[in-house]
Amino acid sequence: MVTQQEIDKEIAELAGRVTPGGHPPRLYPPYRSSILRSPRQPLTLVTDPDAIELWTPVFGTGDVTELDADLTVRHSGEPIGERITVTGRVTDRDGRPVRNQLVEIWQANAAGRYVHRREQHPAPLDPNFTGAGRALTDANGDYRFTTIKPGPYPWGNHVNAWRPAHIHFSLFGTAFTQRLVTQMYFPGDPLFAYDPIFQAVTDPAAQQRLIAVYDHDRSVPEFSLGFRFDIVLDGPSATYFEEDHQ
């Protein structure tokens, strides 16, 4: 396996590039798993206004309950760790709220351990924490989760590779073309510079859009620290003009 110094050098060579939407390139060699898992052929542009991808799956109140957004009440006891609330608004690129759509999250526990059989990190599991949650955005596009702050964890990309603490997010928009899977990071994490997954977003301004903001007004007294993570979904929507004229 290569050293952190070699990965740092590769990251530095690619740093600063501005990419469409700030999205990472699919091939980013410092993230070794991307080398054989990225297309070589150009993508094919679809402009058909009747494309099914301009509509989207729908989820309802039978699919998600309010309790699914609280990851700290799944078991008989309180999970170990710093309790946090993560809130934010989901919009499209024109600032229109994405209403009543599904937001799914998953994360490691406070010790940096996932509830997953393939997970090799010898940190303790927490019997009171699974680390998966779901919510529907409300009429303003807002979502809210109660959870605990995940720990950083080691992984096998290179020697001494550590992931900054993060919460995985999966989102649906007003079109299937707006689908997003991303990761939310915490401000000031010392591991950002060393992590090829975070650094795959090569534009520094785009990197900032992956980092939640600590928001003291959203901290709940005697209960939790508040982080705000607003999410802007990319991609076209079939309902653009229809909604614009309402």
Partner 1 sequence: MSELASEPSSAALSRTWIEHRPTGQGVRLEPTPSQTVGPFFGYALPFPGGPDLAPAGHPDTVTVHGYVYDGAGNPLPDAILDFWQAAPDGSRTGTPGSLRVDASNGELLGRDGVRFTGFGRVATTGDGHWALHTLPPAADAPYIAVGVFARGLLHHLYTRIYLPDAPDDALLSGLTPERRSTLRAREDATAAAGRAYRFDIRIQGDESEETVFLDFA
Residues marked as catalytic: 114, 153, 163, 166, 168
Using alpha carbons, select from 105, 117, 119, 125 the residue that is nearest to residue 166.
Answer: 105
Using alpha carbons, select from 232, 245, 242, 181 the residue that is nearest to residue 54.
Answer: 242
The reply on whether position 106 binds partner 1 by CB under 8 A is yes
Q: Which stretch binds partner 1 (CB under 8 A): 7-15, 144-152, 217-225, 234-242?
A: 234-242
Binding positions for partner 1, 67-96, rule CB under 8 A: 67-68, 74, 89, 91-96
Shortest reach from residue 53's CB to partner 1, in Å: 5
The reply on whether position 182 binds partner 1 by CB under 8 A is yes
- Whether 98 contacts 141, CB under 8 Å: yes
Cα–Cα distance for residue pair 128/203, rounded to 1 Å: 38
Binding positions for partner 1, 49-68, rule CB under 8 A: 50-60, 62-65, 67-68
Strands 180-185 and 166-171: antiparallel
The reply on whether position 36 binds partner 1 by CB under 8 A is yes
List, in order, residues 6 or more apart from 48 with CB less than 8 Å away.
Answer: none
Binding footprint of partner 1, residue count (CB under 8 A):
93
Binding positions for partner 1, 162-181, rule CB under 8 A: 168, 170, 176-177, 179-181
